[in-house]
């Protein structure tokens, strides 16, 4: 089993790589099509801004890799948000268009933005990604933008608004929280993804 971590130029790549290593798997950080297409799983990590990451995605022609990768793909935080049609961050950023939705700024409601910390995740289906994870468990979030609810949702969370915490459509999976920063439960979720 070889796992690719897409080198989008964003932060947090090393944390994802370390967690995968702790699970007993090898990973490679790359933006090369021929390298990635021969791996078993692809993870799109993210801490950063949509414009910065999309600029890197476009510069290195990474969107083609994402569109043609035949195996399961997991987008984390920004990696998940960029699977939308667009993002309202930094104006209106054209994204990858995997799901027909638009990333929007979290509504304040008197709460601090960005949302940083642990929050409850309610998974609404028996999707394998949440196998052995108790419904309503807490995961670690760092974000100022979210994805509104859609038919692709497999989990939701609330921070002011009710929003998408995880989705799945075909071989594409996305999580708004950071499993690599979510302790044991995050490792279980990443283990489940690798087992898909």
Residues 24 and 1: beta-carbon distance below 8 Å:
no
* 178 is a catalytic site residue: yes
50 forms beta bridges with none
CA distance 101 to 81: 9
Give burial (CB, 10 Å; 0-12/13-18/19+) of 134: exposed
- Candidate list 77, 115, 123, 143, residue with the active-site label: 77
Residues 87 and 50: beta-carbon distance below 8 Å:
yes
CA distance 89 to 92: 6
CA distance 47 to 16: 11
Joined together, the tokens standing for residue 2 give 């070889």
Residues 143 and 160: beta-carbon distance below 8 Å:
no
| Closest to 107 in 3D by CA, of 58, 145, 151 | 145
Residues 114 and 176: beta-carbon distance below 8 Å:
no
Catalytic residues: 77, 178, 180
């Amino acid at each position: 089993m070889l796992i690719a971590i897409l080198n989008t130029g964003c932060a947090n790549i090393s944390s994802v790589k370390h967690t995968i290593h702790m699970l007993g798997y090898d990973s490679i950080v790359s933006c090369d099509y021929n390298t990635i297409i021969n791996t078993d799983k692809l993870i799109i990590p993210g801490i950063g801004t949509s414009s910065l990451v999309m600029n890197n995605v476009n510069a290195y022609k990474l969107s083609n890799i994402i569109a043609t990768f035949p195996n399961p793909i997991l987008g984390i935080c920004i990696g998940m948000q960029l699977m939308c049609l667009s993002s309202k961050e930094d104006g209106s950023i054209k994204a990858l268009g995997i799901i027909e939705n638009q990333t929007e700024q979290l509504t304040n409601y008197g709460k601090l933005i960005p949302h940083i910390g642990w929050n409850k995740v309610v998974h609404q289906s028996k999707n394998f990604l949440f196998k052995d994870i108790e419904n309503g468990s807490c995961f670690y979030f760092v974000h100022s933008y979210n994805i509104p609810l859609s038919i692709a949702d497999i989990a939701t969370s609330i921070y002011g608004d009710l929003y998408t915490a995880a989705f799945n459509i075909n071989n594409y999976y996305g999580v708004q929280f950071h499993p690599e920063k979510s302790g044991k439960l995050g490792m279980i979720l990443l283990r489940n993804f690798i087992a898909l």
